[in-house]
Amino acid sequence: QQQVKQSPQSLIVQKGGISIINCAYENTAFDYFPWYQQFPGKGPALLIAIRPDVSEKKEGRFTISFNKSAKQFSLHIMDSQPGDSATYFCAASPGGADGLTFGKGTHLIIQP
Protein backbone atom coordinates (compact mmCIF):
# COMPACT_ATOMS: atom_id res chain seq x y z
CA GLN A 1 0.00 0.00 0.00
CA GLN A 2 1.53 3.23 -1.14
CA GLN A 3 0.79 5.90 1.42
CA VAL A 4 2.11 8.84 -0.60
CA LYS A 5 1.21 9.02 -4.29
CA GLN A 6 3.27 11.35 -6.46
CA SER A 7 2.65 12.54 -10.00
CA PRO A 8 3.75 12.97 -12.68
CA GLN A 9 6.49 10.35 -12.92
CA SER A 10 8.39 12.57 -15.34
CA LEU A 11 8.04 16.18 -16.41
CA ILE A 12 9.59 18.34 -19.09
CA VAL A 13 9.36 22.11 -18.71
CA GLN A 14 10.82 24.91 -20.76
CA LYS A 15 13.31 27.23 -19.12
CA GLY A 16 11.52 30.03 -17.32
CA GLY A 17 8.32 28.01 -16.97
CA ILE A 18 6.57 26.74 -13.86
CA SER A 19 7.15 23.14 -12.78
CA ILE A 20 4.32 21.58 -10.78
CA ILE A 21 4.51 18.28 -8.95
CA ASN A 22 1.62 16.84 -6.99
CA CYS A 23 1.34 14.45 -4.06
CA ALA A 24 -1.55 12.89 -2.21
CA TYR A 25 -1.47 11.05 1.07
CA GLU A 26 -3.77 8.66 2.88
CA ASN A 27 -2.57 8.59 6.46
CA THR A 28 -4.30 11.35 8.42
CA ALA A 29 -1.63 11.03 11.10
CA PHE A 30 0.90 12.65 8.76
CA ASP A 31 1.63 16.21 9.84
CA TYR A 32 4.99 17.01 8.28
CA PHE A 33 5.44 17.25 4.52
CA PRO A 34 8.91 17.94 3.07
CA TRP A 35 10.10 18.04 -0.51
CA TYR A 36 13.53 16.77 -1.46
CA GLN A 37 15.70 17.23 -4.56
CA GLN A 38 18.05 14.46 -5.58
CA PHE A 39 20.79 14.46 -8.20
CA PRO A 40 22.19 11.17 -9.58
CA GLY A 41 24.51 9.45 -7.13
CA LYS A 42 23.71 11.88 -4.33
CA GLY A 43 21.51 11.85 -1.28
CA PRO A 44 18.28 13.88 -1.18
CA ALA A 45 18.58 17.53 -0.23
CA LEU A 46 15.75 19.23 1.65
CA LEU A 47 14.11 21.98 -0.41
CA ILE A 48 11.15 23.10 1.61
CA ALA A 49 8.68 21.63 4.11
CA ILE A 50 5.23 22.44 5.42
CA ARG A 51 2.96 21.52 8.30
CA PRO A 52 -0.85 21.34 8.03
CA ASP A 53 -1.48 24.55 9.94
CA VAL A 54 -0.66 26.63 6.85
CA SER A 55 -1.95 26.31 3.30
CA GLU A 56 1.08 27.71 1.51
CA LYS A 57 4.77 28.25 2.11
CA LYS A 58 7.21 30.02 -0.17
CA GLU A 59 10.98 30.00 -0.16
CA GLY A 60 12.60 31.72 -3.09
CA ARG A 61 11.40 30.07 -6.32
CA PHE A 62 9.89 27.12 -4.45
CA THR A 63 6.31 27.10 -3.13
CA ILE A 64 4.38 24.36 -1.37
CA SER A 65 0.59 24.45 -1.56
CA PHE A 66 -1.23 22.31 0.97
CA ASN A 67 -4.88 21.20 0.97
CA LYS A 68 -5.64 19.41 4.22
CA SER A 69 -9.23 18.46 3.39
CA ALA A 70 -8.19 16.89 0.09
CA LYS A 71 -5.03 15.41 1.63
CA GLN A 72 -2.96 16.81 -1.19
CA PHE A 73 0.12 18.98 -1.48
CA SER A 74 2.12 20.26 -4.38
CA LEU A 75 5.47 21.80 -5.22
CA HIS A 76 5.70 24.74 -7.61
CA ILE A 77 9.06 25.75 -9.04
CA MET A 78 8.84 29.21 -10.54
CA ASP A 79 11.16 30.41 -13.31
CA SER A 80 12.49 26.88 -13.76
CA GLN A 81 16.17 26.65 -14.73
CA PRO A 82 18.25 23.88 -16.34
CA GLY A 83 20.04 23.46 -12.99
CA ASP A 84 16.70 22.43 -11.49
CA SER A 85 16.77 19.25 -13.57
CA ALA A 86 16.75 16.48 -10.97
CA THR A 87 14.47 13.98 -9.30
CA TYR A 88 12.04 15.43 -6.78
CA PHE A 89 10.49 13.48 -3.96
CA CYS A 90 7.61 14.43 -1.73
CA ALA A 91 7.50 12.80 1.67
CA ALA A 92 5.42 12.70 4.81
CA SER A 93 5.73 11.65 8.42
CA PRO A 94 3.57 11.66 11.55
CA GLY A 95 6.00 14.09 13.07
CA GLY A 96 9.29 15.68 12.20
CA ALA A 97 11.12 13.20 14.40
CA ASP A 98 9.76 10.12 12.61
CA GLY A 99 10.91 8.23 9.55
CA LEU A 100 9.70 9.56 6.21
CA THR A 101 7.37 7.88 3.74
CA PHE A 102 8.44 8.96 0.27
CA GLY A 103 6.53 9.31 -2.96
CA LYS A 104 7.93 7.51 -6.00
CA GLY A 105 9.65 10.59 -7.34
CA THR A 106 9.35 12.90 -10.35
CA HIS A 107 12.13 13.14 -12.90
CA LEU A 108 12.17 16.79 -13.93
CA ILE A 109 13.92 18.03 -17.05
CA ILE A 110 14.19 21.73 -17.75
CA GLN A 111 14.88 22.38 -21.41
CA PRO A 112 17.07 25.40 -22.25
Partner 1 sequence: GAVVSQHPSRVICKSGTSVKIECRSLDFQATTMFWYRQFPKQSLMLMATSNEGSKATYEQGVEKDKFLINHASLTLSTLTVTSAHPEDSSFYICSATRQGPSAQHFGDGTRLSIL
Q: How far is the CB of 13 from partner 1 (least distance, A)?
A: 20
Pairing mode, if any, of strands 4-7 and 56-59? unpaired
Q: How far is the CB of 9 from partner 1 (least distance, A)?
A: 10
Q: How far is the CB of 95 from partner 1 (least distance, A)?
A: 5
Spatial contact of 5 and 102, defined as CB atoms under 8 Å apart: no
Spatial contact of 21 and 74, defined as CB atoms under 8 Å apart: yes
Q: How far is the CB of 16 from partner 1 (least distance, A)?
A: 27
- For 35, other C-beta atoms within 10 Å of its C-beta total 23
Applying CB under 8 A, among 46, 55, 78, 82 the residue interacting with partner 1 is: 46
Q: Which is nearer to partner 1, 53 or 112 (CB)?
A: 53
| Residue 8 interacts with partner 1 (CB under 8 A): yes or no | no
| Residue 53 interacts with partner 1 (CB under 8 A): yes or no | no
Q: Which of 21, 48, 50 is nearest to 33 (CA)?
A: 50
| Residue 102 interacts with partner 1 (CB under 8 A): yes or no | yes
Applying CB under 8 A, among 45, 54, 55, 56 the residue interacting with partner 1 is: 45
Pairing mode, if any, of strands 86-92 and 106-111? antiparallel
Give strand pairing partners of 19.
77
